[in-house]
Amino acid sequence: MHHRRRLTRLWMACLFCLSLLTSAPVSSGQQPTDADVLALVERLKDRDAGVRFAAASRLVSSGVETKAAVSALLELLKDEDVNIRGQAMQTLGNIGPGAKAAIPALAEALRGENYLVRYSALNALGSIGREIRPG
């Protein structure tokens, strides 16, 4: 059990570092170039869920390609790693109303077995729906 916790912490640290690396241009105040955006969209297809998550987060933080980022985050909701699913849900919530396409998948996640996933889904739905008005 202790070994598993250490591996989880190591994975989260790696994911955090990867996220920092992919967000460097925004952190320095620069807008991403077209080449940056194309590279990030390509990373959304990576086999590693952490790379896909970092790329989607970077796209969201730059304010471009929200549709592509939402699409990639929706795929991450199917990941077997609970932490990746939770982070994807949090990022979808951070996008807000621009992530309306995620509402059905998040509603389905409310039926999941893991309480952290249900909690993350509920928070994301609240953030996405907060600014959506009928009609």
For residue 38, what are the CA distances in angstroms to 12, 28, 33, 71, 95? 26, 19, 9, 15, 20
Please check whether residue 135 lies inside any domain of the structure: no
In this predicted model, what pLDDT tens digit does every residue of 20-60 receive, in sequence order? Answer: 555 444 445 566 677 777 788 788 778 888 888 888 778 77
To the question of pTM greater than 0.85 for the whole model, the response is no
In this predicted model, what pLDDT tens digit does every residue of 59-69 receive, in sequence order? Answer: 777 766 577 77
Residue 55: how many CA atoms within 13 Å on its side-chain side? Answer: 26
Please check whether residue 134 lies inside any domain of the structure: no
Count Cβ atoms below 10 Å from residue 10 Cβ, excluding itself. Answer: 10
Question: 81 or 13: whose pLDDT is higher?
Answer: 81
CATH number at residue 102: 1.25.10.10
Please check whether residue 93 lies inside any domain of the structure: yes
Could you give the number of structural domains in the chain?
1
Task: Find the domain containing 12 and state its range.
Answer: 2-129
What does the DSSP 8-state code read for residue 132?
-
Indicate the pLDDT class of residue 10, thresholds 50, 70 and 90: low
pLDDT for the residue 12: 65
